[in-house]
Amino acid sequence: MSALKYFLNQINLITPNYNEYKALKENKLFENLNNSCSVLIKGGHREDKLGTDILIQNGKEISIESNDKVSVYHPKHGSGCVLSSAIASYLAKGENLENACRNGKLYIEKFLTSNPTLLGFHS
């Protein structure tokens, strides 16, 4: 955990799922950070607000709701990596972190609703 805390002070964003975030918080991993590391808590494992992501940036919580039009998600391996990559691409295009996370969420929803027999499609 001490090594992980060291790295959290070196990066801008981590994207744990809800259960991973709870474990990290229980281990007090987010105490005494220099606020350079934001956290996007992915909501796919939540019981109360399924699909709602929470971005914690500079101590402020921003709710990122799922698209109401989406009714069927197909479980796909690698969706967390696809989300992180999508966010990174939006940041590289000059988006601020909140907009990059929102656009990344839209992208991952498209990925998760694509053909269930395929890994996913990217357009």
Q: Is residue 123 part of a domain?
A: no
Q: How far is CA 107 from the centre of its chain?
A: 12
Q: Does 63 map to a domain?
A: yes
Average pLDDT over residues 16-32: 85
Q: Give the model's pLDDT for residue 41.
A: 93
Residue 120 is assigned to a structural domain of this protein? no
Residue 20 lies in a domain: yes
Give 2-15 pLDDT, tens digit per residue.
788 888 888 899 99
pLDDT in tens, 44-81: 767 787 788 999 998 899 999 887 665 566 666 678 88
Q: Is residue 15 part of a domain?
A: yes
What domain count does the chain have? 1
- For residues 89 and 83, the answer to whether their CB atoms sit within 8 Å is no
Domain that holds residue 74: 2-112
The domain that holds 76 is classified in CATH as: 3.40.1190.20
pLDDT of residue 88: 96
Burial state string for 26-53 with b = 16 or more CB within 10 A and e = fewer than 16: eeebbeeeeeebbbbbbbbebeeeebbb
Whether residue 105 lies inside any domain: the answer is yes
Q: Does residue 101 surpass a pLDDT of 80?
A: yes
- pLDDT at res. 89: 97
**What counts of helices (H) and strands (E) characterise the chain?**
4, 4
Asked if the structure places residue 84 within a domain, the reply is: yes
% of the chain with per-residue pLDDT over 70: 82
Would 81 be classed as within a structural domain? yes
Torsion-angle region of residue 120: left (phi > 0), alpha (psi -120 to 50) or beta?
left
pLDDT for res 103:
96
Q: What is the rounded CA–CA span in Å between residue 114 and residue 111?
A: 5
Q: Is residue 120's pLDDT more than 60?
A: no
Are 39 and 65 in contact, with CB atoms under 8 Å apart?
no
d(CA 120, CA 82): 10
DSSP 17: B
- Please report the pLDDT score of residue 69 as a whole number: 62
* pTM greater than 0.85: no
Q: Which two tokens stand for residue 76?
A: 């796909």
